[in-house]
Amino acid sequence: MVRLITHNLLGCHVKNCNANNFPLEFKNARVELVEAEFNPDFLRNFLPKIEWKALVDTARQLGDTSLPVEQPEMVDDDFLKALHHVLLEVHVEEGAMVCPNCKHEYPISNGIPNMVRSYSFEGYNTDPLTIPTKLLAEHEIA
Partner 1 sequence: MPPRALEAVRIESNEDPADFEAKNVHEIYDAIASHFSSTRYKPWPIIAKFLSDLPTGWVGFDSGTGNGKYLPLPADRPGAIWTIGMDRSRNLLDIARRAGEGKVVREVVWGNVLDNPWRPNAFDYAISIATIHHLATHERRKLAVQRLIQAVSADHGRVLIYVWAIEQDELSKRKVSVEDDPEANEKGKDVMVPWVLSKTLAKPSPETSQPEVYNRYYHMFAKGELAALASDAAKDLGLSVGSRESCSSTPGVEIVQEGWERSNYYVELRRWSK
Positions touching Zn ion (CB under 5 A) are 12, 14, 17, 21, 99, 101-102, 104
Smallest separation (angstroms) from Zn ion to the CB of 12: 3
Smallest separation (angstroms) from partner 1 to the CB of 124: 4
Q: Output b/e per residue, 101-137; b: 16+ Cβ within 10 A.
A: ebebebbbeeeebbeeeeeeeeeeeeeeeebeeeeee
Q: Say which entry of Zn ion, partner 1, none residue 39 contacts (CB below 5 to 8 A, set by partner kind).
A: partner 1
Binding mask 53-92 for partner 1 (x = CB under 8 A): --------------------------------------x-
Instruction: Give the Cα separation of 32 and 34 in Å (integer).
Output: 6
Distances (CA, A) of 69 to 55, 87, 97: 10, 15, 22
The reply to whether 10 sits near partner 1 by the rule CB under 8 A is: yes
